[in-house]
Amino acid sequence: MRVLGVDPGLTRCGVGVVEGVAGRPLAMVGVGVVRTPADAELSHRLLAVEQGIEHWLDEHRPEFVAVERVFSQHNVRTVMGTAQASAVAMLCAARRGIPVALHTPSEVKAAVTGSGRADKAQVGAMVTRLLRLDAPPKPADAADALALAICHIWRAPAQNRLQQAVALHASKGRTA
Amino acid sequence: MRVLGVDPGLTRCGVGVVEGVAGRPLAMVGVGVVRTPADAELSHRLLAVEQGIEHWLDEHRPEFVAVERVFSQHNVRTVMGTAQASAVAMLCAARRGIPVALHTPSEVKAAVTGSGRADKAQVGAMVTRLLRLDAPPKPADAADALALAICHIWRAPAQNRLQQAVALHASKGRTA
């Protein structure tokens, strides 16, 4: 299972590809950051994010795309750009028929460190260990993208079972 | 000057095309709503918005796209979807090299009614009058999209002059 994790942002959009299955050692396929200039027009920045994501999809052909779920309780100015960059990532995946999963920051932290309130350094350290890297990927957005991909690989079996159960329940309800 | 106005939203994305220049009667070229099902996955909804906007761009070939500037002080849940739908509209325009302008709701209201705090009915009534329609376009999102396009046609000369002045000042500063 090959997953592209996307930590959305306009200034720095973290991207990381991880391959593996739950219960086995994972492998990093690639990691990087898509950057757009802060002084460019918003529509041009979104276009640059699209081109960056398209490049990563072309290059690594992931089977799933995992994107950080954006909340608006934080910094109100940043969050709009984050929401818009995440929309571009989701759109690029949907256009290719690649399933998109959203994971919250605390789900991702809990998946890789065991605590939903872990800090950036802890997430970076665990990503480094789990992918057997020489050093934590920089910047933090790149490490976060890898953490998202790892989270998806580990959570996916449970999510799939849950979705199957819901679908079964719904179909039973309809035929009862 | 032909402008596509976009009132962004995931459930209903208003679209309206207006042709004209400031100081002359305006003409409506088309109006409608791009809808996506509330129970669909977010990535699929964004894809449906993209397909809808692409259709309007193909059909009407606007020279400018005017999108409502999204603020986050309102309903926090809705605003994320609105920000994401607006990102898709801006992206579609940028991909074709069509200039994108953002106008705030109060700029739009002030442009068409004279008051930045006008209500929906007032905006609908003025859009109807200015475009010489038989009745206000329904739903309100469609009327708002037309109001955005009208606002852009009327504000554009001033904005262009301002941008020219800023560019001139910047180039003078550089050669001084």
- Smallest CA–CA distance, residue B98 to chain A, in Å, is 10
> Is the four-CA dihedral A106, A8, A145, A124 of positive or negative sign?
negative
Residue of B nearest to A89 (CA): B43
List A50, A68, A119, A144, catalytic entry: A68
For residue A65, the enclosing domain spans 2-175
Cis peptide before B139 (omega within 30 of 0): yes
Beta strands per DSSP E along B79-156: 100-103
> Who's near A118: CB < 8 A, 6+ residues apart?
A109, A110, A112, A126
Question: What's the distance, Cα to Cα, between the start and end of chain A in Å?
Answer: 37
Percent of chain B with pLDDT over 90: 80
- Hey, is the C-beta of B133 within 8 angstroms of any chain A C-beta? no
What the block records as the tokens of B130 is 């200015």
Q: Would you call B50 a catalytic residue per the annotation?
A: no
Confidence check: pLDDT of A100 > 80:
yes
Residue of B nearest to A98 (CA): B43
User: What secondary structure does DSSP assign to B13-49, as a single string?
Assistant: EEEEEEE--TTS--EEEEEEEEE--TTS-HHHHHHHH
A85 or B78, which is more confident:
A85
List B7, B50, B58, B119, catalytic entry: B7
CATH number at residue A59: 3.30.420.10
Residue-averaged pLDDT of chain B: 90
CB contact under 8 A, A102 and B47: no
- Hey, is the C-beta of B175 within 8 angstroms of any chain A C-beta? no
- Tell me what ipTM this predicted complex has: 0.84
CB contact under 8 A, A80 and B70: yes
Instruction: Find the range with the poorest average confidence among A67-81, B7-21, B75-89.
Output: A67-81
Structural domains counted in chain B: 1
Are the CB atoms for A109 and A116 separated by under 8 Å? Answer: yes
Query: What pLDDT sits at residue B147?
Result: 98
- Hey, is the C-beta of B66 within 8 angstroms of any chain A C-beta? no
Mean pLDDT (whole number) for A6-21: 97
> Who's near B25: CB < 8 A, 6+ residues apart?
B132
Q: Would you call B68 a catalytic residue per the annotation?
A: yes
- Smallest CA–CA distance, residue A11 to chain B, in Å, is 15
What the block records as the tokens of A157 is 């079996």
Query: What pLDDT sits at residue B169?
Result: 63
CB contact under 8 A, B94 and A46: yes
Cβ pairs bridging A and B (under 8 Å): 72
Query: What pLDDT sits at residue B170?
Result: 55
- Hey, is the C-beta of B42 within 8 angstroms of any chain A C-beta? yes
List A41, A54, A59, A141, catalytic entry: A141
DSSP 8-state class, residue B97 = T
Q: Would you call B58 a catalytic residue per the annotation?
A: no
Give per-residue pLDDT as tens, B24-57: 999 999 999 999 999 999 999 999 999 999 999 9
**How far apart (Å, rounded) are the C-alpha atoms in residues A49 and A126?**
27
Confidence check: pLDDT of A42 > 70:
yes
Give per-residue pLDDT as tens, A62-74: 999 999 998 766 6
